[in-house]
Structure 1
Amino acid sequence: MRMMAVHAHPDDEASKGAGTMARYVTEGHRVRVVTCTGGERGDILNPRLEHDKQIIDNLLEVRRAEMAAAAEALGIEHAWLGFVDSGLPEGDPMPPLPEGCFALVPDEEATVALVKQIREFRPHIMTTYNEIGGYPHPDHIATHRVSMAALAAAADPEFHPELGEPWQIQKVYYDVSFGQERLEAIHEAMVERGLESPFLEWLRSRGERPQREATARIKVDEFFPQRDAALRAHATQIDPDGFFFQVPHDLEAEVWPWEEFELAYSAFPVTGMEDDLFAGID
Structure 2
Amino acid sequence: MSLRLLHVHAHPDDESSKGAATTAYYVAQGVDVVVATCTGGERGSILNPKMDTPENWKNLPALRKAEMEKAAGILGIRQVWLGFVDSGMPDEGEELPPDAFARLDPAVAAGPLVKVIRELRPQVLTTYDESGGYPHPDHIQCHRVSMAAVEAAADPDAWPEHGEPWQVPKVYYDMTLHRGRYAAFDAAMHEAGLGRPYAEWLAQWSEDTDRLSRLTTFVPCADYFEVRNAALLAHATQIDPDGRWFAVPLEIQKAGWPTEDYQLVRSTVPAKLPEDDLFAGVRDEPDDYSI
Q: TM-score, normalised by structure 2?
A: 0.93
1:250 aligned to 2:258?
A: no
| 2:50 partner SS | coil
Residue 122 of structure 1: aligned partner: 121
Residue 131 of structure 1: aligned partner: 130
Residue 19 of structure 1: aligned partner: 21
> For residues 122 and 208 of structure 1, what CA distance do their matches in structure 2 show?
35
CA positional deviation for 1:273: 0.9
> For residues 235 and 197 of structure 2, what CA distance do their matches in structure 1 show?
20
1:6 aligned to 2:5?
A: no
1:147 aligned to 2:146?
A: yes
Residue 45 of structure 1: aligned partner: 47
> For residues 211 and 226 of structure 1, what CA distance do their matches in structure 2 show?
31
> For residues 222 and 39 of structure 1, what CA distance do their matches in structure 2 show?
29
CA positional deviation for 1:211: 4.2
1:173 aligned to 2:172?
A: yes
- Given that 1:172 and 1:263 are in contact with CA atoms closer than 8 Å, whether structure 2 keeps it comes out as yes
> For residues 278 and 7 of structure 2, what CA distance do their matches in structure 1 show?
12
- Given that 1:179 and 1:211 are in contact with CA atoms closer than 8 Å, whether structure 2 keeps it comes out as no
Residue 69 of structure 2: aligned partner: 68
Over 3 Å counting, the alpha-carbon distance change for 1:208 and 1:23 in structure 2 is: closer
CA positional deviation for 1:178: 1.8
> For residues 36 and 275 of structure 2, what CA distance do their matches in structure 1 show?
24
CA positional deviation for 1:184: 1.5
> For residues 53 and 112 of structure 1, what CA distance do their matches in structure 2 show?
36
| 2:61 partner SS | helix
Which amino acid in structure 2 is aligned with residue 29 of structure 1?
V
| 1:48 partner SS | helix
Residue 265 of structure 1: aligned partner: 266
CA positional deviation for 1:109: 2.4
CA positional deviation for 1:253: 0.9
Deviation string for 1:140-165 (max 9, x for gaps)? 01000010011110011111211001
CA positional deviation for 1:108: 2.6
Residue 159 of structure 1: aligned partner: 158
CA positional deviation for 1:127: 0.4
CA positional deviation for 1:113: 1.1
| 1:14 partner SS | helix
CA positional deviation for 1:179: 1.9
Deviation string for 1:227-249 (max 9, x for gaps)? 00100000000011001111111
Alignment partner of 1:31 out of 24, 28, 33: 33
Residue 278 of structure 1: aligned partner: 279
Aligned residues, how many? 279
> For residues 167 and 27 of structure 2, what CA distance do their matches in structure 1 show?
22
Residue 57 of structure 1: aligned partner: 58
| 1:261 partner SS | strand
> For residues 245 and 110 of structure 1, what CA distance do their matches in structure 2 show?
35
> For residues 88 and 254 of structure 1, what CA distance do their matches in structure 2 show?
35
- Given that 2:173 and 2:264 are in contact with CA atoms closer than 8 Å, whether structure 1 keeps it comes out as yes
Q: CA RMSD of the aligned region, Å?
A: 1.1
Instruction: Structure 1: give runs of 5+ residues left out of the alignment.
Output: none
- Given that 1:45 and 1:237 are in contact with CA atoms closer than 8 Å, whether structure 2 keeps it comes out as yes
- Given that 2:133 and 2:177 are in contact with CA atoms closer than 8 Å, whether structure 1 keeps it comes out as no
> For residues 241 and 91 of structure 2, what CA distance do their matches in structure 1 show?
25
> For residues 34 and 210 of structure 2, what CA distance do their matches in structure 1 show?
28
Which amino acid in structure 1 is aligned with residue 200 of structure 2?
E
Residue 197 of structure 1: aligned partner: 196
| 1:202 partner SS | helix
> For residues 235 and 210 of structure 2, what CA distance do their matches in structure 1 show?
28
Q: TM-score, normalised by structure 1?
A: 0.96
Deviates more, 1:206-215 or 1:15-24: 206-215
- Given that 1:125 and 1:277 are in contact with CA atoms closer than 8 Å, whether structure 2 keeps it comes out as yes
Over 3 Å counting, the alpha-carbon distance change for 1:107 and 1:2 in structure 2 is: same
- Given that 1:125 and 1:169 are in contact with CA atoms closer than 8 Å, whether structure 2 keeps it comes out as yes
Which amino acid in structure 2 is aligned with residue 130 of structure 1?
D
Over 3 Å counting, the alpha-carbon distance change for 1:209 and 1:202 in structure 2 is: farther
